[in-house]
Amino acid sequence: MTVSFVVFILSQESLSKSWTIFSGKHELGWENFLFNINLWGQKEKTAVAETPMPLLYRRNFTKAPQWDFDDVYNQDAPPRPTTCAQSLRNSKDENFKKAFLPNIRLFLHKDNINMSEWNRLSHFNNPFGFMECKYDEVMASVKLIPKPKEPLLLPKPGADGCIHCAVVGTAGILNGSKVGAEIDAHDYVFRMNGAVIKGYEEDVGNRTSVYVHTEHSIAASPYFFGKYGYKSAPHDEGIKYVLIPEAMRDFRWLEGLFKGHEGYSCYKGPRPRDYYSGQYNESRFYVLHQDFLRYVKNRFLKSPNLNETFWPLVRPTNGAFTLFLALHTCDT
Ligand SMILES: *[C@@H]1O[C@H](CO)[C@@H](O)[C@H](O)[C@H]1NC(C)=O
Ligand SMILES: *[C@@H]1O[C@H](CO)[C@@H](O)[C@H](O)[C@H]1NC(C)=O
Ligand SMILES: *[C@@H]1O[C@H](CO)[C@@H](O)[C@H](O)[C@H]1NC(C)=O
Ligand SMILES: *[C@@H]1O[C@H](CO)[C@@H](O)[C@H](O)[C@H]1NC(C)=O
Ligand SMILES: *[C@@H]1O[C@H](CO)[C@@H](O)[C@H](O)[C@H]1NC(C)=O
Ligand SMILES: CC(=O)N[C@H]1CO[C@H](CO)[C@@H](O)[C@@H]1O
């Protein structure tokens, strides 16, 4: 709990310095692994790594390491041609255009991880990679994540071709706002963490299309927000769930979730599936990719605290990741 609070506070600080654009740094060569051939788009055939690289330890770094491939990310084919003129993708803002990767890989699944990916990502601390994690432990879980069958969001049939989204935070500033109907009028409503709704519909709306969480946030929110009447994660019919894999406990959670039993050991109590109130469905469950999380941090929310000894605790909040997920899946 203590650690989580620290993360929250530090991340808030990084949020307040938002929208400073940083370009990729090329400070530290370390090992320039040969097996990253595909990453660099070279054609020649080089030996492909077959074993996990030796573990790197966070405590060996007094500040966040900067690898020369830090700012290189997997990208996917565009999910759909957009016919929306006012789409964020058509923004003319120069800083935004420089930072924004419209096709950044959003989701991790069993078919887009392999040994060279493992070794590349093992250079970055969680949630931006797998530093200090054991290959067998993480992969037992990742190998169960199904490849998403459809994009997170599709334009609503018969609408204007744009995907309109609302992202609703949980800090409490909406109390008394009376914008509930306006929120609900969007095509999709994103929420995260302890999304208190019941009794506050007039202010926060009542629909949830996408719920973003970690193992910790979904399990702990009923305790933190119970005093506001929060009992469980939103579970509208057809809701999509998105997990931020922030630590080993999230991979254990996923294993328990996909296998349908208590395959994890952090919390005693109900099975992971029970936290989704009957709406868990493999084809509506998404896991964010480490490249996407690192890209948000590197290009939009780079905190000066990454140069402090407590750098491994510094990251954007779940709310910030949710906002950026919406910016990459919605038009407005
Ligand atoms: C490993 O996965 C990456 C990312 O999905 C892909 O680009 C690459 O071609 C794969 N490498 C091998 C050797 O399969
Ligand atoms: C919301 O605002 C009302 C009126 O100001 C206040 O009484 C109530 O405590 C607030 N609720 C929360 C959860 O902050
Ligand atoms: C939200 O409120 C509207 C209007 O009161 C109602 O028709 C709808 O069923 C509610 N939706 C949910 C998910 O509760
Ligand atoms: C899971 O969701 C998919 C896509 O919405 C749907 O086609 C399928 O019937 C659902 N499965 C169950 C068991 O509800
Ligand atoms: C960390 O320090 C380096 C060199 O002192 C500087 O170039 C870099 O911008 C700093 N990083 C952040 C996130 O402030
Ligand atoms: C070079 C270095 O300091 N390596 C240390 C990194 O951390 C591990 C685990 O604490 C130590 O065993 C290494 O000596």
Ligand 5 centroid vs 61 CA: distance in angstroms? Answer: 14
pLDDT digits (tens, 9 = 90+) for 260-313: 865 454 545 568 999 999 999 999 999 999 999 999 999 999 999 999 999 999
- Ligand 2 atom with least separation from CA of 175: 1
Cα 270 to Cα 181: distance, rounded to the nearest angstrom: 34
Q: Phi first, then psi: give them for residue 186, nearest 5 degrees.
A: -75, 160
* Minimal-distance CA residue to ligand 6 atom 8: 57
pLDDT of residue 71: 98
Residue of the CA atom closest to atom 2 of ligand 3:
206
- Which ligand 3 atom is at minimum distance from the Cα of 208? 13
Q: What is the pLDDT of residue 326?
A: 98
Q: What is the 3-state secondary structure (H, E, C) of 104-172?
A: ECCECCHHHCCHHHHHHHCCCCCCCCCCCCCHHHHHHHHCCCCCCCCCCCCCCCCCCCCCCEEEECCCC
Low-confidence ranges of the chain (pLDDT < 70): 1-47, 261-270
The pLDDT, as a whole number, for residue 37 is: 31
Distance CA(152)–CA(154), nearest Å, equals: 7
- Kindly state if the Cβ of 165 falls inside 6 Å of ligand 5: no
Q: To which residue do tokens 């779940």 refer?
A: 318
Residue 284 tokens read as 């509506």
Look-up: residue for tokens 């290009």? 299
Question: Where residue 158 sits, what CATH number does that domain have?
Answer: 3.90.1480.20
- Domain of 144 in residue numbering reads as 2-329
No. of H helices and E strands in the chain?
10, 5
The burial of 106, by beta-carbon neighbours within 10 Å (0-12 exposed, 13-18 middle, 19 or more buried), is given as: buried
> Which ligand is nearest the CA of 149, by number?
4
261: left (phi > 0), else alpha (psi -120 to 50), else beta?
Answer: beta
CA distance 332 to 329: 9
* Residue 271: predicted pLDDT: 86
- Residue 18 pLDDT: 30
Cα separation values, 230 from 211, 227, 321, Å: 14, 7, 22
Number of structural domains in the chain: 1
Q: Is 302 in the pocket of ligand 5 (CB under 6 A)?
A: yes
Residue 101 is encoded by which pair of tokens? 């990767």
